[in-house]
Structure formats: C-alpha cells, structure tokens
C-alpha cells in the first residue's frame, strides 16, 4: 500500500483526492497551506523526508486567474517556485510527483483538441506561472506526472456550477457566454485519476479532462435543467464580459498517449455525479440517467 503526501489538501481538488484515497484505503498525509507553504523550500524538504511518501500529489496552487494579472510575481512564486521546491525534494528522495496543471498553458486559438505535445503559448499571467511550474518539474530530473486539467468544478471551492446554481435560485435570468468551449471536469472524477497516476510508472505530461466538450452556456443549461431551476439563460459573448485575464476561446484537451492516456468520464456524467453528491438531485435518478 502506497503512502501519499497531499499538498494543498484543503482546497477543492485536495479534498477530493483525500476522499478518493480514503475510499481506496490509501495512507495519506494531508497538508494544507497552514501546515506546509510550498514556497518554503526547507519546509518542503522536511515534510518529504519525515513522511517518506511513495508519491506526492500537489494540489497546492494560486488559482485566482484574474488576481494573477496584477500579482504575477506572487502567482509565479506559488505555481512555479513552489512546484520547483516540490520537484527538487521529490527527486532527491526518490518520490514520484503528481502535479496538476492547466489548459491555460495554451493560447486557446486552436480548432482541434490540444494534445500533450501541442505548442504552448499562455496568454495570461496565471498560464505563464503554471507553464513555468511544468518546466521546473521537468528540469528537476525526478519521477513525475504533470496532469493538465480544465474547467474544474466540485465541492469545497468556488466554481462555475455552484455559481449557476446560486444565481439560478436568485434571478429570473442569467447571461452566459457561448463562445468559450472546453471540457468540464468534476473533481470527483479527476481525484481517482491522480491517485492512479501516483502509482503508475509513466512519466511526462498527461491531459485529463471530462470527456466531450461544451460551451459555458451549454454547461449552465444542463445544470439548470438537472437542478429543476426556473431561471432563463440568455446567450452572450466573452466581449460582453471583459475580465482582467483573457479566457481561452477553445480549451478542449485530448490525449496522444495511447494506452497510457488518462481517460475521465463524459462531462455530463461528471455533472450528474457532482449534483447527486451535493444533494441537488437524487442519486438514484442520476445513475439511471447515466445508463
């Protein structure tokens, strides 16, 4: 049985990883930011050496995409320097590192899904900081798996699905963009894949996102429909909702890794699973709809 150290354990994805590990009877050490600041190289080294894990799953990250535009140095300290600290300590101790990255490393201008070897060209401070983290991990020379995910939603953190549920109960109408396309990914589906990667031997970059693709408008429509909300959705464009950080117009991820590919369930199934787990819809009805 593996021993797994989980950093960023109190965030949305960290909580999901711990839940999946408990279900799989894995031994874990859960460290939130209060227990371990990954930008502190000495503290990271101590944590790795004392726990002696077989693998480390890094869910710690600066995730405020818009905030990173005005605080790029701070975002880079966490997403790049922090990742470098973890990679260095893991490499020195022979520990496998599973690190979560993002679709924001791409420019969002493609018309076909991005595979792992697609050229990177981040358009935001957040994307640049995450790409710098990827490169630091690759340069460390240890055993690693970089898992790029996209459009993450789940319990324990701010996310689009929860926002739509809240607004759908408060308002009669909601405007949602139709010109951003991606792969919604439930943390409850991604977490077991991260655990599996912790015990695998394949190294390098992997894409792991919910199967299929949709727009934010389509995701909102499915959420409202499943939740039985009466609000009306109005289509709009990204141009109508300017944000500090540019959003990729196309964030569909696919894999070229063949038998090594990390495959997750279709985003519809992930959404139903999340809404059932949150008590928004009946779990039995959700299972029946998925068949």
How long, in residues, is the chain?
Answer: 291
At 3, phi and psi to the nearest 5?
Answer: -105, 125
DSSP state, residue 161: H
**Pairwise CA distance, residues 182 & 253, whole Å:** 8
Q: Are 178 and 215 in contact (CB under 8 A)?
A: yes
CA-to-CA dists, residue 265 to 178, 203, 230, 242, angstroms: 23, 22, 28, 32
Active-site entry in 104, 114, 126, 274: 126
- The encoded tokens of residue 108 equal 């969002």
Q: Which tokens in the block code for residue 261?
A: 């590919």
User: 4: part of which helix (H) or strand (E)?
Assistant: strand 3-7
114 is catalytic: no
- For residue 191 the two structure tokens come to 């977490």
Contact of 108 with 248, CB cutoff 8 Å? yes
H or E element at residue 227 = helix 216-227
Cα–Cα distance list, 161 to 76, 86, 221, 271 (Å): 27, 31, 10, 8
Q: 49: which residues sit within 8 A by CB, 6+ positions away?
A: 89, 93
User: Helix 267-277 to helix 160-170 angle, to the nearest 10 degrees?
Assistant: 60
Supply the residues annotated as catalytic. 126
């Amino acid at each position: 049985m593996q021993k797994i150290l989980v950093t960023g354990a109190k965030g949305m994805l960290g909580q999901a990883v711990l839940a999946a590990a408990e279900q799989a009877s894995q031994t874990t050490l859960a460290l939130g930011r209060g227990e371990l600041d990954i930008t502190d190289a000495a503290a990271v080294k101590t944590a790795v050496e004392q726990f002696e894990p077989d693998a480390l799953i890094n869910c710690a990250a600066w995730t405020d995409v818009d905030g990173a535009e005005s605080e790029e140095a701070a975002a880079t300290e966490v997403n790049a320097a922090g990742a470098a600290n973890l990679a260095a300590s893991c490499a020195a101790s022979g520990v496998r590192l599973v690190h979560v990255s993002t679709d924001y490393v791409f420019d969002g201008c493609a018309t076909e899904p991005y595979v792992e070897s697609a050229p990177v060209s981040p358009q935001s401070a957040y994307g640049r900081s995450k790409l710098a983290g990827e490169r630091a991990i690759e340069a460390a020379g240890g055993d690693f798996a970089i898992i790029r995910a996209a459009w993450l939603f789940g319990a324990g953190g701010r996310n689009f699905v929860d926002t739509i549920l809240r607004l759908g109960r408060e308002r009669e109408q909601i405007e949602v963009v139709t010109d951003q396309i991606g792969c919604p990914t439930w943390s409850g589906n991604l977490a077991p894949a991260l655990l599996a990667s912790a015990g695998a031997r394949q190294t390098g970059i992997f894409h792991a996102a919910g199967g299929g693709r949709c727009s934010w408008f389509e995701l909102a429509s499915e959420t409202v429909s499943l939740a039985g909300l009466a609000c009306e959705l109005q289509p709009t464009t990204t141009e109508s909702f300017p944000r500090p950080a540019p959003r990729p117009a196309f964030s569909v991820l696919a894999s070229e890794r063949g038998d090594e590919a990390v495959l997750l369930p279709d985003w519809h199934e992930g959404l139903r699973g999340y809404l059932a787990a949150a008590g928004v819809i009946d779990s039995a009805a959700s299972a029946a709809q998925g068949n």
